[in-house]
Structure 1
Amino acid sequence: MSDQQGMDFLDGVPSNWGRWGEDDELGAVNYLTNEQVLRGIRAVEDGETFALGLPIGRPEGDPVWPGRDGTNHYMDRDKGHYESGKATAHGRAQGADDVVHMPLHGTTHVDAPGHIWYDDEMYNGFDANTTKGGLDRCSVDTLGDHGILGRGVLLDIARHRGVETLEPGARITLDELRECAAAQGVELEQRDVPVLRTGWLEQYYDEDGIDIYEGKFREPGLTHSEELLEWFHEREIPAFGTDTIANEQTISDETGTPIPLHAGLLRDQGVVFNEMLDLSALAEACDESGRYAFFYVAAPLKFVHGTGSPVNPLAVR
């Protein structure tokens, strides 16, 4: 989004700037008040819990946005250190330590409000120069202080279409979200956290699946439209998640540009993006029970000046 040309489609889009004061750095997560936490809790019926985070640091690799480094996991101390005399045991006790080097957007994660900007302004009008050397404003540690807790709703678009996974570059429209919810018998309520399943990342872990990096990388998903941005704004959506790497159509059918929703939702409305969710087990349970609402809980790590944070969200039904 550093290229500020050709983005006239963002003129006049809905904005939450100033809604919670000129110093606000939290964004749409402000919608998730104590009342919304209790509303999420009321969606729980039997306490069944699903961890939505992907595995990190698999030897065969993890899915990442093209051009980003993967996870490098090193042992800082293990049994070999004691055998070689490089570590000293404390009595009969020994131990292992390790170190990880990874991008903060390299696995299941949330984007900080300051992750994307255009016209040299981040969420709530903060100057993009405040990102130099780390985010002085709109950093992910603000989300970590608050947490993201509310009523989540799974919209299983892949099952709704009757496919294992959406085709590369497939577009999901607002009408389809509504149709999917109606077919599932669930209502999308004010301040819900929509969670969209496309089947896209499941194929990454399936030996017989399509290679998501084959040819031109083009993920399926929602994309920019005036109607969609108005819907997010009117419904006061605090956050949304998907089982894709970027939560939206890689190249927008509507604008012809890469990932414009990051600008129209994250930057303009402060809507949190929860990317790369593992939704396979949750989707099976929802399909079997006919219950698609759950208590959504995510606690970003408090990386000071961070643009995002790995997270292992929980869906409690």
Structure 2
Amino acid sequence: MTRMGRTDPGASELSRARMSEEEFRALYRRLRDQRPWGPGDRRGALNHLTSAGTQAAASEVRLGRTVSLAAPVEGDVTPDNPDPARHLMKGIPGTGRGVAFGMDRIEMNIHGNADSHLDALCHVSFDGELYNGVPVDTITANGATELTVGLAANGVVGRGVLLDIPRTRGVPWLEPGEHVTVDDLLAAEQAQGVRAGRGDILLVAVGHRRRRRERGPWNAAAYRAGLHPEVMPLLADRQIAVLGSDGNNDVAPSVTEKVDFPIHVLAVNALGVMLLDYLQFGDLIRICEEADRWTFLCVIAPLRLPHGTGSPINPIAVL
């Protein structure tokens, strides 16, 4: 397959970047078969994040500054959020004497295209199986019983590495349909003086949130920037623990024939890499540019949903 350069892709370039179903399935089998863990494994790439790695990540804290990587939960109907979260007031304190309480309830679609969330290893099935051959019937109407977000109940804490692809390309954002290549990742590492490695929480900025803020919401389910499937062997070789983006990691329309979410399939299903979708990097990018460094302590704390296929999240970067 021809790799794309770092210029805006035209129609002919997008055509060359497409991956056939046969090519994709060969890549899927290659990544699946190179997993270093046995058939009983249920942690996936979290195995790359060791206690020693977490201790080392703490040394990234030098400024004592914290920044959220989550977007505010939105309640408005927009083209990318047709089923928004509902924040309901269940109790409003009166003005009388004595104790009273304000009471809230929230309802949300965890895996939507607007709110920041984590995808657990039970989120993606392919050819009738979940990660590591776990049967899909482990997901029932009452929730999942295997590979749930409960695997991250104690939090995921490690070194975060942010690669800002629009910055490297010299553009404000990648347009919907554009994709991040291996060349993009390597160029960003060189420009930013970093190298993602074993146990890292890799965050790849495509500028989705900035484009949404400046241009307004659009149908992100149908059109969005993301990663090309060709990047996954590099991330597997680097032993990345978690992958996140300010989009949902996948390009739309898909560049892969008959597979709409190739990154989700390769990351979650083949490699056991939990995904962080629709994060927000604006504040983090500003601090990283000021400090001239792109690594930090990253703390991910999903809700304790024992049977969940994912969770809303508010990851925190500590610099």
User: Is 2:228 aligned against 1:223?
Assistant: yes
Residue equivalent to 2:60: 43
- TM-aligned CA deviation for residue 256 of structure 1: 6.1
CA RMSD of aligned residues (A): 2.4
Contact kept? 2:50, 2:199, Cα under 8 Å: no
Describe the SS at the equivalent of 1:268. helix
User: Is 2:163 aligned against 1:155?
Assistant: yes
Give the letter for the 1:234 counterpart. Answer: D
Of 100, 124, 127 in structure 1, the residue corresponding to residue 106 of structure 2 is 100
Describe the SS at the equivalent of 1:13. helix
Residue equivalent to 2:243: 240
Contact kept? 1:17, 1:125, Cα under 8 Å: no
User: Is 2:314 aligned against 1:316?
Assistant: no
Structure 2 distance, partners of 1:221, 1:233, is: 17
Residue equivalent to 2:90: 76
> Once the two structures are superposed, what CA deviation does each residue of 1:225-259 show, in whole Å capped at 9, x if it has no partner?
2xx23212211111111111x21212333546311
Contact kept? 1:10, 1:264, Cα under 8 Å: no
Contact kept? 2:46, 2:199, Cα under 8 Å: no
CA 1:211/1:200 → structure 2, altered by over 3 Å: closer, same or farther?
Answer: same
- TM-aligned CA deviation for residue 203 of structure 1: 2.6
Q: Which blocks of at least 5 consecutive residues in structure 2 are unaligned?
A: 1-19
Describe the SS at the equivalent of 2:203. strand
Q: Name the one with the larger helix percent.
A: 2
Describe the SS at the equivalent of 2:284. helix
User: Is 2:287 aligned against 1:285?
Assistant: yes
- TM-aligned CA deviation for residue 7 of structure 1: 6.3
Of 8, 18, 30 in structure 2, the residue corresponding to residue 13 of structure 1 is 30
Structure 2 distance, partners of 1:314, 1:250, is: 28
Q: Which moved more, 1:100-109 or 1:277-286?
A: 100-109
CA 1:41/1:27 → structure 2, altered by over 3 Å: closer, same or farther?
Answer: same
Structure 1 distance, partners of 2:180, 2:35, is: 30
Q: How many residues align?
A: 295
TM-score, with length taken from structure 1: 0.85
- TM-aligned CA deviation for residue 200 of structure 1: 1.0
- TM-aligned CA deviation for residue 211 of structure 1: 3.8
User: Is 2:149 aligned against 1:143?
Assistant: no
Q: Which blocks of at least 5 consecutive residues in structure 1 are unaligned?
A: 84-88
- TM-aligned CA deviation for residue 304 of structure 1: 2.1
Contact kept? 1:224, 1:255, Cα under 8 Å: no
User: Is 2:194 aligned against 1:180?
Assistant: no
TM-score, with length taken from structure 2: 0.85
Residue equivalent to 1:86: none
Structure 1 distance, partners of 2:33, 2:122, is: 14
Structure 2 distance, partners of 1:188, 1:232, is: 8
CA 1:311/1:16 → structure 2, altered by over 3 Å: closer, same or farther?
Answer: farther
